[in-house]
Structure formats: structure tokens, C-alpha cells
Amino acid sequence: MTTDPNIRTNWTREEAEKIYNLPFMDLLFQAQTVHRTYFDPNQVQRSKLLSIKTGGCAEDCAYCSQSARNGSKLSASKMIEVQRVIAQARKAKEGGATRYCMGAAWTSPKERDMAALTAMVEGVKDLGMEACMTLGMLEDDQVIRLRDAGLDYYNHNIDTSERYYSEIITTRTFADRIDTLNRVRESGIKVCAGGIVGMGEQQMDRIDMLVTLATLEGHPDSVPVNMLIPIPDTPLADVEPLDPIEFVRTVALARILMPKSHVRLSAGRTDMSDELQAMCFFAGANSIFVGETLLTADNPEEDKDSALFNKLGLIAMGVGEDGSICEKKLVSDTARDLSQAVAQKNPPIPNLTRSAV
């Protein structure tokens, strides 16, 4: 368990709702103050995501083009070759990515897949990058084999609140997802877990989703916040778009509840203006996916991201001299002084950052 008194795992829905519904400027101020305590506010991690097995998934996730059950016409493919994955990872590193994420569309890996999966992890690690995978549910022995191969992160999103979950997915339970997260965390692999907003859920569902993550025994090291990309022929193809301010509130709440986690601005960036993305970075997002696609959905191209970074004065987190990823760099003197100054003039909202008595 963490010894940092500011890192809580006992958040309540009432506390989180109070934070979420603060006056917008107060919410952003609080989120940015928390962000500057643990991160350099001008650094953003760049990760790359590759679909290593696309389509034909047996799950019925209503948002997903890869489901064989929800009406999508995306055809299934076999898992791609190990060497092709490594070649793509090398290209991603040359483009500035420090973490390489590999995703497969299935309920869980089969025994025949494990040798190739561990070889992919080992190959990515040999490049000096962090390795991340998202493969669905895992058994204990699969977790151990991936850990021993050097897997740094395992992504397994909870997608939404427990209440709304059955409206989106019926082929696996919310508890199944939590069990997988616990299994991964207990093995020593870092957890990457977030969700999707804009799926027709209520405000309280977004709050409850983040409270679930923030009250796990250990906070996820990465928290992807995805804006739904409506995919033709899926059940959510015609869902009403989420108000952008509600999205920023979600990012800010994630930052405040989970101060040390990387909050990743994930799917949906293609349709976000520069101004909306900038607001999300100010609210505490400090990780993005780079490249033209996210599994099967579009993503901003490299030059567009570079232009945005230049416009905002952001820089990419890099790789240290020892080959390690410089994720949690010390904040600059200016950022630290500013954080201390605003904390003195505007102390944090009571009971939002310290354990309740």
C-alpha cells in the first residue's frame, strides 16, 4: 500500500460527485494543481497501439467494430507475425513513442497463442520500449508467462459503471473485468484501466466508473479516457454525442482521484478541436496514442499531433540514458514554485486529497 497521504483509495461517490460538479474553473484549477504536484505539466507520454488480431470477437460490446455479434461488417483476421509486430514497434520508437501497446480481438488468449505473445513482449522490450498488451481476460498462468516475458502494462478497461455495464456488454460481467485487473496487479504487472464515455450513459455512470478505479487496492498506473467513436452498423452508431465540457470534467475527475496515474486522452481525438484537447491537457491528461489508427478507429496523424504540441509548448516524455522510460519526471522549478504558490493562496478543497477521518 502507498505511504503517500495524498493518494486515497477510499473515495466515495458523494465526494466524487461534489468534485465533478464544481464550478468549471474551480475544477480545472484543482485538477491542474494536483497534476503539477506529481508531473511536469508540459510533458505528455506518446504511446503506439497496434491491433495484432482484428475482428471476429465473440464479445458483444455495443461500441466495437470487431464484435462478430453486434452487426459490424469488419472481417476477422489471424494474429499477425511476431517479426511484423517488432518491425512496427521499431518504427513507432523512431517516431517518438516510448510505450508499445498490442491488442487482440478475442475473449481471452488460447494456449496456442502464448508463445507468439511472449515473443512479441520480449521483442518490444529489446527495443528499449515499454510493452503493453490488451488481450481480454487472463488465467493465472497466462499472467505469469506474460510477466516473465517482461510485460510492463496490461490494459483491461472496465468501460463504464457497474450499473450501466449490462446495457453495453452481456457476454462478460463487470466482476469478470475486476477479477482480471486484480489478477494482473497481484502478479506485479502494471495495470492500465479506464473506460469510454459518450455511450448514452448518465453523468453518475461516468463518476461511478472513475470511483471504481480509484477505490481499487492500487490505482491503475494508466487511465485511458475514451470518447466514443460511433461506428456504423454497431448498436451505438447513432448515440447522441457527449457535451465536450462533460468530457473535460471526466478527465479532471480522473486526475484528482488518481493523482499519480497517467491519464490518457485516447479514442475520439480525431473529432476533438485543438482547443478541447488543450483543455483536457490542462485538466490533467498527460498521455496520448500516436499514429493514424487505434485498433480499427481513426486517430490524428503524427504531423497534426506535432503541430498541436508545438502550439501548446508540450514535449514528449523520453527515454533515459539507462533505457528506462522517463515517465514521472520531477517537475521543473517553475512548475514546483507555482504549485506551492497556488496551494498557499488556495488550499485544496477539504477532504479531496487526504483520507477522511
249 has catalytic annotation? no
Q: Of residues 8, 101, 185, 249, which has the active-site annotation?
A: 101
The catalytic residue among 36, 99, 172, 192 is 192
Active site residue 101: yes
Measured distance CA(341)–CA(67) in Å, rounded? 51
Cβ distance 185 to 217 under 8 Å?
yes
Is residue 197 within 8 A of residue 225, CB to CB? The reply is yes
Residue among 61, 183, 249, 280 flagged as catalytic: 61
Nearest CA to 251 out of 198, 294, 298 is that of: 198
Identify any residues that bridge with 103 across adjacent strands, giving them in sequence order. 51, 134
Q: How many helices (H) and strands (E) does the chain have?
A: 12, 12
**How many Cβ atoms from other residues are within 10 Å of residue 325's Cβ?**
16
The catalytic residue among 8, 36, 57, 183 is 57
* Catalytic residue from among 249, 264, 269, 280: 264
Given the residues 64, 99, 177, 269, the one annotated as active site: 64
326 given a catalytic annotation: no
- Of 332, 252, 223, give the one whose Cα is nearest residue 33: 252
Annotation marks residue 64 as catalytic: yes
Is there a catalytic annotation at residue 264? Answer: yes
Q: How far is CA 324 from the centre of its chain?
A: 20
What distances in angstroms separate CA 165 from CA 83, 208, 224, 305, one per listed residue? 37, 11, 17, 33
> Residue 257: which of 13, 3, 1 has the closest Cα?
13
| Rounded CA separation 225/207 (Å) | 12
Q: Hey, which residues are catalytic here? A: 57, 61, 64, 101, 132, 192, 264
